[in-house]
Structure 1
Amino acid sequence: MLLAIDGLLSAPEVEALRASIDTIDFADGRASAGRYAREVKANDQAAPSPARNAVLAKVEKALGGNALFQAAARPARMTPLILSRYRQGQTYGLHVDDALMQGIRTDISFTLFLSEPESYDGGELVIEDGFESRAVKLPAGGLMAYPSTTLHRVAPVTRGTRLAVVGWVQSRLRDAAQREMLFDLDRAVREIHAREGKSELFDLLAKSRSNLLRMWAD
């Protein structure tokens, strides 16, 4: 399931983060790539510092408080977040994310865009889904989540700077189809409750959702 979440961070929050990022040192991004992905990766990632840690902590808090992200991903564990930077000429070629990162199984990958799309050219997140390539370039504060099993790349940046936070989720539901079904049921439960309140239909849907989660969750 591909999911775009608009406004995970508000415009003032993004602006404050970018101001903090201006004070952060960056290093070669290949340090966090797997053996083969390292061959096609050319970007920067923020070096450890209190300022970087504060930026990533704010993003992690936003992820934890976003109902849509929580319902879609159902996180059990999450890798440490990475603050990445792509400047002119930098790119990340076609690759699949490592299945295990620091002992965490990667089920869902996500990119949180921090640069306004008009401030840079290129830099699209390109996801291959077997039928077509989907190029994604969201407004600052928007997040794209997608299965870690997919081939994907970051198109070369030809102007400006692309800032983003990336991370990976080990879901309580290993199976992507099960995650999508429960995500749809969550939406149905909320909409029925908003329309009818606690009705017989609401109770049946809520019961099915809870029992499927109980059946499938690790």
Structure 2
Amino acid sequence: MILIIPDVLTPDEQSQLRLLASQSNFVDGKETAGFRAKLVKNNEQVAKDASNKKQLQEIVVGALLRSKEFRRGAIPLRIRPPLISRYRPGMTYGVHVDDALMGSSLARDRTDVSCTVFLNDAKEYEGGELVVHSPYGIQEIKLPARYAVIYPSGTLHEVAEVTKGERLVAVTWIQSYVRDERHRQFLYDALQIRDKLHSIDPKMVEADTACHLYTNLLRLWSEN
């Protein structure tokens, strides 16, 4: 499931993130790339030892957890500390798949869902599309500032070359309570049905049935 989520960040949060990023030291993005991704990754990211890195990460994670659509789509168990990534003219990230496990050897998280949060507006740069190679064909995603997109971490994807301006994003990965992307899609759809029936008549039998179905599917498929 590819899910676009509008207005994950507030305008104040976006401004604060951009200000903090402008005050940060950026380093070669290959520092955090897997052994094959290093061959195709050409961007910059806020340094590991940046004094304001934790503040940047807390703003992004807090905004995601506040988002109802994000929680429904990702069903997050754990969220990895986000990376703040920057692409300037000529920079790109070739076709790759995200690592299956991330973190230290003693505390590894499985990556089920990948997330990009757009920190500046699409009009501020040319190129830089997130290109997801989905089972239904290539999906090119370039969103307004404050929007986020989530998609399965096992999907091949890339970032097209930025030809003008600067692309600034936060990227993170989620270990979901529900490992299987098909099950997450079914649960998301079931929630849509449940909410629609509840809005029509919260006392109708079908509303209870939809709630029963969603709750027990979540119980069946969830793990930690």
Alignment TM-score, normalising by the size of structure 1:
0.96
Asked if residue 104 in structure 1 is aligned to residue 109 in structure 2, the reply is: yes
CA distance in 1, matches of 2:20, 2:136: 40
Residue in 2 that maps onto 1:22: 22
CA distance in 2, matches of 1:200, 1:208: 12
Asked if residue 3 in structure 1 is aligned to residue 8 in structure 2, the reply is: no
Asked if residue 163 in structure 1 is aligned to residue 163 in structure 2, the reply is: no
Residue in 2 that maps onto 1:209: 214
Deviates more, 1:186-195 or 1:27-36: 186-195
Equivalent residues in 2 for 1:16-95, closer than 5 Å: 16-47=16-47, 48-95=49-96
Residue in 1 that maps onto 2:196: 191
Assess, with a 3 A threshold, how the Cα gap between structure 1 residues 131 and 205 changes in structure 2: closer, same or farther: closer
CA distance in 2, matches of 1:184, 1:131: 18
Q: What amino acid does structure 2 have at the position aligned with 1:46?
A: V
CA distance in 2, matches of 1:176, 1:42: 29
1:198, distance to aligned residue in structure 2 (A): 3.4
User: What is the DSSP-based 3-state SS (H/G/I as helix, E as strand, rest coil) of the residue aligned with 1:56?
Assistant: helix
Residue in 2 that maps onto 1:119: 124
1:131, distance to aligned residue in structure 2 (A): 4.1
Residue in 1 that maps onto 2:179: 174
Deviates more, 1:161-170 or 1:198-207: 198-207
Q: What amino acid does structure 2 have at the position aligned with 1:122?
A: G
User: What is the DSSP-based 3-state SS (H/G/I as helix, E as strand, rest coil) of the residue aligned with 2:52?
Assistant: helix
Q: How many residues align?
A: 218
CA distance in 1, matches of 2:87, 2:211: 44
1:57, distance to aligned residue in structure 2 (A): 0.5
1:34, distance to aligned residue in structure 2 (A): 0.2
User: What is the DSSP-based 3-state SS (H/G/I as helix, E as strand, rest coil) of the residue aligned with 1:50?
Assistant: coil
The question of whether the paired residues in 1 share the 8 Å contact of 2:111 and 2:174 is answered with yes
User: What is the DSSP-based 3-state SS (H/G/I as helix, E as strand, rest coil) of the residue aligned with 2:184?
Assistant: helix
Asked if residue 138 in structure 1 is aligned to residue 139 in structure 2, the reply is: no
The question of whether the paired residues in 2 share the 8 Å contact of 1:110 and 1:168 is answered with yes
CA distance in 2, matches of 1:110, 1:65: 15
Q: What amino acid does structure 2 have at the position aligned with 1:68?
A: E
Tell me the percent identity.
Answer: 40
The question of whether the paired residues in 1 share the 8 Å contact of 2:117 and 2:170 is answered with yes
The question of whether the paired residues in 2 share the 8 Å contact of 1:45 and 1:82 is answered with yes
1:130, distance to aligned residue in structure 2 (A): 3.5
Q: What amino acid does structure 1 have at the position aligned with 2:178?
A: L
The question of whether the paired residues in 1 share the 8 Å contact of 2:61 and 2:79 is answered with no
The question of whether the paired residues in 2 share the 8 Å contact of 1:11 and 1:140 is answered with no
User: What is the DSSP-based 3-state SS (H/G/I as helix, E as strand, rest coil) of the residue aligned with 2:116?
Assistant: strand
Coordinate RMSD, CA, aligned:
1.1
